[in-house]
Chain A
């Protein structure tokens, strides 16, 4: 199997790629060019001054009163958009989702002042239970043609909200929105407001491992919680994490599992990885610990312990005292306190054994020197599907190797590699200059395919 992958690797490296064009680095990025709306200029068609005059006055009235000057998005879970004119009076109100419709029903906000309307809407959201002490975040997004005006409006709204909401523990997330095509297509695709799409975009820009699929269904409070430390997002007040176990509890759980009494230097933040988690990182001596803890239940959903190779010991190694493949595996198993493992790989490489196995839904990686020293190891636990994990392997790794060796008619082999994936052993070994590759069914021991390469 490695064989074809090596060929793919080689083929791609044979592609001639150009040098990087350093000029491109100086191009301004993240700058969104807003096209001005084209206006109809009438003079050529108009024959009389009076008509021009009337039109200009009419245009002015239209501009001040009926033309949408800005759009204000309010997202909690209900998502509502206010269209306002130059005088900050509401021209139109639209609900972007069903919860928004519930809030709007029976409310007539047309013609009212922007701040009055926002207050009424937020009041109704509190009354209907959309904002409470478990989820206290409100997203305000201001969209319009002038960034300066947007920013001014944003400040005005936030100040007004702060003044009105003093008795309540709210967290107000606010932003100005530059409408652009990619944002609009995301908002349409996920059926979320432009403001929410931009908030998610900012979060993803900070953590590229997240996706729109992950976050589109999040409430604003959840987004607020995981967007900590993001300078693009302006937040007043703290998002409520009362629905979760809290930072201190999460840290306690991780330290207990790692069997470490206290760490001075650690990082903790809320993150999302299929569920909302507390992500904790700390280092003790040469070992790095990483935990993901379910923010609701406190369960450890994932952890990674990484000890780094001690270079001194690997260099002073003598080659006289070499251990066998099985002895290396024993050392790793003893260290992992594991038995009955699904071995995925044992490879002799550069004077050390690389061993990979699965035990208790965790992936263990060891690098063991020929003298039996553990040079490096990592334990990685992750979501592991039970149906896959209950491996149907009936024959052992050694049996599988025997079958392959017998078939090949050889006995003294070097550089063996055995991997168990998807109930198939993939075995590679060399005899002299020939490379053998076998795929063997792990239940029946039947040879599925083999290849001999010179």
Chain B
């Protein structure tokens, strides 16, 4: 089922569709929130708030074939409001992993510690959501060229860091 039809069902208060949507994309929302906030607890809060907002505002969504962009822009706006109210430190130790994979933990720690904010957001949008670069540019209010060059810089940084690790 496409995201569009989930949103349409949710706009008619379909709880099942809402639960399904949550299970389908909560990682996408959480990862983008984390890429902005750099803090697990805050990112969880914003994930919850994003879904609450989806639930209450699904009827406002006008299909433009970009449901994920619509959802993540809600996440972005909520996250920025949160940043304004409190700044917290990066804390990787609060994040719980399903399997005890050290590599995953290190990789996410690198993302949070070693990339700058925009680099991290671009990487997350590209690798988790498969957005095209011009779509990422739209979501983050960046020029396409900026998005591309930041993306490449970030990938290079990550590769080098992970090489050192191996």
Cα(A17)–Cα(B30), bound, Å: 8
For the complex, count residues of B whose C-beta is within 8 A of A: 63
Interface centre among B18, B51, B145 (most CB of A within 10 A): B145
The contact of A24 among B15, B48, B81, B99, by CB within 8 Å, is B48
Q: Do A185 and B123 touch across chains, with their CB atoms under 8 A apart?
A: no
The contact of B98 among A14, A205, A382, by CB within 8 Å, is A14
Q: Do B103 and A11 touch across chains, with their CB atoms under 8 A apart?
A: yes
Q: Do B56 and A382 touch across chains, with their CB atoms under 8 A apart?
A: no
A–B complex contacts, Cβ < 8 Å, 29 sampled: A1-B155, A5-B127, A6-B127, A7-B162, A9-B127, A9-B128, A11-B101, A11-B103, A11-B105, A12-B27, A12-B124, A14-B101, A15-B27, A15-B97, A15-B104, A17-B47, A21-B48, A182-B84, A205-B57, A205-B60, A208-B73, A209-B69, A211-B141, A214-B141, A290-B64, A363-B132, A380-B134, A383-B134, A421-B133
Find chain B residues with CB under 8 A from A449 CB. 159
Find chain A residues with CB under 8 A from B31 CB. 12, 15
Taking CB atoms and an 8 Å cut-off, the chain B residues in 28-66 that contact chain A are 30-31, 44, 47-48, 51-53, 55-57, 60, 64-66
> If the complex has contacts A18-B44, A383-B144, are A12 and B152 also in contact, measured as CB distance less than 8 A?
no
**A426, chain B: closest CB distance, angstroms:** 9
Find chain A residues with CB under 8 A from B27 CB. 12-13, 15, 17
Cα(A422)–Cα(B154), bound, Å: 13
Q: Do B124 and A8 touch across chains, with their CB atoms under 8 A apart?
A: yes
Which one of A91-99, A141-149, A219-227, A384-392 contacts B?
A: A384-392
Cα(A388)–Cα(B152), bound, Å: 14
As a 0/1 sequence over residues 191 to 224 of chain A, the CB contacts with chain B under 8 angstroms (1 = contact) are 0000000000000111011010110000000000
Cα(A384)–Cα(B124), bound, Å: 23
Residues of chain A whose beta carbon lies under 8 Å from any beta carbon of chain B: 1, 4-18, 20-22, 24-25, 27, 29-30, 181-182, 185, 204-206, 208-209, 211, 213-214, 281, 288, 290, 304, 306, 363, 380, 382-385, 387-388, 421-422, 424, 449
Nearest neighbor of B28 in chain A, beta-carbon distance: A12
**A368, chain B: closest CB distance, angstroms:** 19
Nearest neighbor of B152 in chain A, beta-carbon distance: A422
Nearest neighbor of A387 in chain B, beta-carbon distance: B145
Find chain B residues with CB under 8 A from A206 CB. 60
B107 at the interface (CB under 8 A from A): yes
Q: Do B65 and A288 touch across chains, with their CB atoms under 8 A apart?
A: yes
New A-B contacts (10) at CB < 8 Å, excluding given A14-B98, A385-B144, A387-B145? A4-B158, A7-B107, A13-B27, A14-B104, A15-B96, A16-B98, A182-B81, A208-B74, A380-B134, A383-B144
A contact patch SS: mixed
Find chain A residues with CB under 8 A from B101 CB. 11, 14
B14 at the interface (CB under 8 A from A): no
Cα(A185)–Cα(B86), bound, Å: 13
Residues of chain B whose beta carbon lies under 8 Å from any beta carbon of chain A: 15, 18-19, 22, 26-27, 30-31, 44, 47-48, 51-53, 55-57, 60, 64-66, 69-70, 73-74, 77, 81, 84-85, 95-99, 101, 103-105, 107-108, 111, 123-124, 126-128, 132-134, 138-139, 141, 143-145, 148-149, 151-152, 155, 158-159, 162
Nearest neighbor of A10 in chain B, beta-carbon distance: B104
Q: Do B60 and A11 touch across chains, with their CB atoms under 8 A apart?
A: no
> If the complex has contacts A14-B98, A16-B97, A208-B70, are A384 and B19 also in contact, measured as CB distance less than 8 A?
no
Nearest neighbor of A27 in chain B, beta-carbon distance: B52
Cα(A205)–Cα(B127), bound, Å: 27
Find chain B residues with CB under 8 A from A10 CB. 104
Cα(A16)–Cα(B108), bound, Å: 13
Nearest neighbor of A18 in chain B, beta-carbon distance: B44
State the 6 A-B residue pairs at the shortest beta-carbon distance, nearest first. A5-B127, A11-B104, A208-B73, A12-B31, A16-B96, A388-B145
Q: Do A306 and B96 touch across chains, with their CB atoms under 8 A apart?
A: no
**B143, chain A: closest CB distance, angstroms:** 6
Cα(A403)–Cα(B66), bound, Å: 38
Find chain B residues with CB under 8 A from A11 CB. 101, 103-105, 107-108
Q: Do A20 and B73 touch across chains, with their CB atoms under 8 A apart?
A: no
Find chain A residues with CB under 8 A from B66 CB. 209
**B112, chain A: closest CB distance, angstroms:** 11
Find chain B residues with CB under 8 A from A387 CB. 145
